[in-house]
Structure 1
Amino acid sequence: MAVLLAIAYAAGWVIRFNIIHVEAHLAEVSFNDPIAWTARITQGVLALAYAVSVAYYLKLLAEFVLKPVAVDPAWQPLGANIIVTIIIALMTLLALGGSLRRVEHLAHGTVSIKIGIIAGLLVALGIAWVSSGIVEPLPPVRLSWASIPMLLGLIITVQGFETSRYLGHDYPADLRIRTMRHAQWIASAIYLAFIALLTPFLSRAAMTEGVAGILDIMALIAPALSIFVLAGAVSSQLSAAVADSIGSGGLVNEVSRRKVSVPVAFTLSGALAILVVWLTDPFEVVALSSRAFALFYAMQCVLAIAVSAKRGTGTMAQRIGFAGVGLICLVAVFVGAPAEG
């Protein structure tokens, strides 16, 4: 997890450089400038990544919704796909009716509640550790070269900071850079604390099935919190899916120079998300989403190197660092693998 967070922070470092230097360069060059074209292609890649991530978020949502329900395991994948398809269809209808923004604002209002649920979960894990200690042997370590593709296939789990790159019309560069950095620090602290506090329960965690296995752990540790964790997980996935749907539609509209309207772009994004949902299982969609975002981060590295060289900004060490991050992201694009399967 620490390595994964370090990769994400390195990608965030590149994007923070681009907020200052690439945005300034793009504001001065013509439409047909090669770097401007590269930037537009990068936006197109991000639009596709967001569309795939919608499938990821809603697939997780469906898994959490079905977890407490007594459903035949053989029918659960079909049920999850039907739920996701219905949600995407409803989101598309809301977008066409101009009401999706209101849903997004409502979802953002639950952020404080979700942070509170996360804090409660961490406290419950800490209390359980102090009160019981590690009473079960830890599962054996399974570390091999195959662990690297699995690690790179999980990049989507620490994604989200790149949104700041495209909020320049609403917020100044220094604010976007500062808040992105703080968001990555806070998220990293939560991830590492969760992994550390989960240590006494890793044997039980290893026996859980599906991507919603955290509910099984919480049912053993703090049953009263299970319903809150479920509510937080569902609302979190829904708000992320709505935000990424809007982001994908807006980027397609912008890249096409308004030739593709936002409703049409949103519909295309929804269709792609539905296709991904029906063609992948929950673990495959995680890896596919990770590869899509890794490609976007790699292209951000290309932009950083090109602008740094052309404008004489940054140092040679920084350019080498950009190339290194880009190489890692390209490896993730080609070898990122599902955690199970």
Structure 2
Amino acid sequence: MILNISILLLALVILGGMFVPALRARPRWRAMVTPLASIIGSGFLVLGPILEVRFGAWAPLAMAVLCLVGWLFGAAVRNNIAAEERPDTALISRIEQIAQFALSFAYVISVAYYLNLFGAFAVSLTPWHSHFTANVVTTVALGVVAVAGFGGGFHALERMEYATVALKLAIIGGLLLGLAVYFGKTAAQGDLIFDPGQLGPWDSLRLIFGLIVTVQGFETARYLGKSYDAPTRIDAMRWAQMLSTAIYMVYIVLLAYLFVPDANTLTETSIIEMMRVVAPILPAMLVAAALAAQFSAAVADTGGAGGLLAEFTRGRLDPKHAYPVLIGAGIALTWSADIFAIISYASRAFAGYYTLQAVLAALQSKGLKSKAFWALALLGLAMTVLGIPAEGS
């Protein structure tokens, strides 16, 4: 009971702190909210169980590699933000256009990913918990997004972004407190679990490639140019990545040694069952965080995809007419693939986009820096081709 109250109080304190006017008034903080929302919103809940089951005691190392790869691709995007004022060559302009199209394609898959998680968590604590009912909820949510976009209702939904980020960080704070207390008790009893993991080096690397979407989202800072100057966006991305990395690493270190890995029980909502053991209040809090975070992220990415397609077609395709087509693709993915396959598809799509960003950075740099970005582009290409899904139960 005391732990439940402590978790709730900490969450409320963080939530209240997020709405302090002095914090919200800071331009860099406001600019940081968008990439931060995308990074920790897309994979936080599903990533922990995947790494714990597939990597065992090596889960923190796998998380560190994911964050490092995300940081390197973020460096390429930051380089391209800094180069925005330079005159573009025809080649750079063409690659940028292709990159925007690749990002819009990645967003289509990520919307399906977000709302499949939304559907799964929506029914996770109900008597109707099944893949079929989760898919029905996902389809309805996709329909709502399509109608909102076509009817011009996105602006009202997008205003939810700051509130959902605040709620998400508050609940994550409570989750980390609960995990820290449970970790301490388990360690004191000598019951921490050190499992060697299930995968060999090659499959481990390919699975990491297939999980890059879980640390994706930092690139959104590049497309905030109408609201913030380049230095602000660069700082916002850098700080969003550093904060999300700290959150992810603490989370995985606390989670990786508490439970016996069981591939037969790995699902998109495995974190719910894990947290029942930690503190009874956490499952309901995590469901609330998942519903708010995944829906707002889906709205943001649908809007982003529509806008990018309109820009790519030079206005010939109106964004609101693109939304039903994009959502139709999401519905097709929902009923034809499981969430782990969708995560892998989304990761490979974003890896393709990051490859193009690394190529752009290489073309706009010189010397050793250019060579490093070319090497990063090769890594992105390998991730695009070789990424594999986690394969749940």
**After TM superposition, is the score higher than 0.5?**
yes
Q: Give the equivalent residue in structure 2 for 1:105.
A: 159
Are 2:277 and 1:220 aligned? Answer: yes
Give how far 1:247 is off.
0.4
Question: Do 1:139 and 1:206's aligned partners in 2 also have CA atoms closer than 8 Å?
Answer: no
Q: Give the equivalent residue in structure 2 for 1:305.
A: 362
Alignment partners' CA distance in 2, 1:137 and 1:85:
39
- CA deviation string 1:9-32 (max 9, x = no partner): 0000000000011x223xx348xx
The secondary structure found in structure 2 opposite 1:109 is helix
Are 2:250 and 1:193 aligned? Answer: yes
> Bigger CA drift: 187-196 or 261-270?
261-270
The secondary structure found in structure 1 opposite 2:109 is helix
Are 2:343 and 1:286 aligned? Answer: yes
Q: Give the equivalent residue in structure 1 for 2:215.
A: 158
Question: Do 1:205 and 1:214's aligned partners in 2 also have CA atoms closer than 8 Å?
Answer: no
Are 2:393 and 1:331 aligned? Answer: no
- CA deviation string 1:267-289 (max 9, x = no partner): 22212222222221010000000
Give how far 1:226 is off.
1.7
Question: Do 1:205 and 1:217's aligned partners in 2 also have CA atoms closer than 8 Å?
Answer: no
AA in 1 matched with 2:82: I
The secondary structure found in structure 1 opposite 2:257 is helix
Give how far 1:206 is off.
5.7
Q: Give the equivalent residue in structure 1 for 2:30.
A: none
Question: Do 1:294 and 1:329's aligned partners in 2 also have CA atoms closer than 8 Å?
Answer: yes
Alignment partners' CA distance in 2, 1:204 and 1:231:
26
Give how far 1:139 is off.
2.9
Closer/same/farther in 2, CA of residues 136 and 306 from structure 1, 3 Å limit? closer
Alignment partners' CA distance in 2, 1:54 and 1:241:
5
Alignment partners' CA distance in 1, 2:109 and 2:343:
9
Q: Give the equivalent residue in structure 2 for 1:24.
A: 85
Q: Tell me the TM-score normalised to structure 2 length.
A: 0.80
Alignment partners' CA distance in 1, 2:314 and 2:256:
51
Are 2:203 and 1:139 aligned? Answer: no
Alignment partners' CA distance in 2, 1:61 and 1:204:
24
AA in 2 matched with 1:135: D
Alignment partners' CA distance in 2, 1:5 and 1:206:
24
Cα RMSD after superposing both structures: 1.7
Question: Do 2:195 and 2:261's aligned partners in 1 also have CA atoms closer than 8 Å?
Answer: no
Alignment partners' CA distance in 2, 1:119 and 1:129:
15
Give how far 1:324 is off.
1.5
Closer/same/farther in 2, CA of residues 29 and 320 from structure 1, 3 Å limit? closer
Are 2:184 and 1:130 aligned? Answer: yes
- CA deviation string 1:145-202 (max 9, x = no partner): 1111111000000000001111112110000000100000000001100011113313
- CA deviation string 1:281-321 (max 9, x = no partner): 0100000000000000000111112233xxxxxx4111111
**Percent of residue pairs identical:** 35
Instruction: Extract unaligned runs of 5+ from structure 1.
Output: 309-314
AA in 2 matched with 1:110: T
Q: Tell me the TM-score normalised to structure 1 length.
A: 0.91
- CA deviation string 1:109-161 (max 9, x = no partner): 22112101101100110011222325254333224111111110000000000
AA in 1 matched with 2:153: S
Q: Give the equivalent residue in structure 2 for 1:236.
A: 293
> Bigger CA drift: 207-216 or 322-331?
207-216
Question: Do 2:341 and 2:389's aligned partners in 1 also have CA atoms closer than 8 Å?
Answer: yes
Question: Do 1:117 and 1:228's aligned partners in 2 also have CA atoms closer than 8 Å?
Answer: yes
Name which of 100, 114, 130 aligns with 1:57. Answer: 114
Instruction: Extract unaligned runs of 5+ from structure 2.
Output: 1-62
Are 2:147 and 1:82 aligned? Answer: no
Aligned length: 327
AA in 2 matched with 1:290: S
The secondary structure found in structure 2 opposite 1:110 is helix
Give how far 1:337 is off.
0.3
Closer/same/farther in 2, CA of residues 137 and 16 from structure 1, 3 Å limit? closer
Question: Do 1:139 and 1:202's aligned partners in 2 also have CA atoms closer than 8 Å?
Answer: no
Question: Do 1:107 and 1:235's aligned partners in 2 also have CA atoms closer than 8 Å?
Answer: no
AA in 1 matched with 2:174: G
Alignment partners' CA distance in 2, 1:63 and 1:307:
43
Name which of 255, 263, 266 aligns with 2:323. Answer: 266
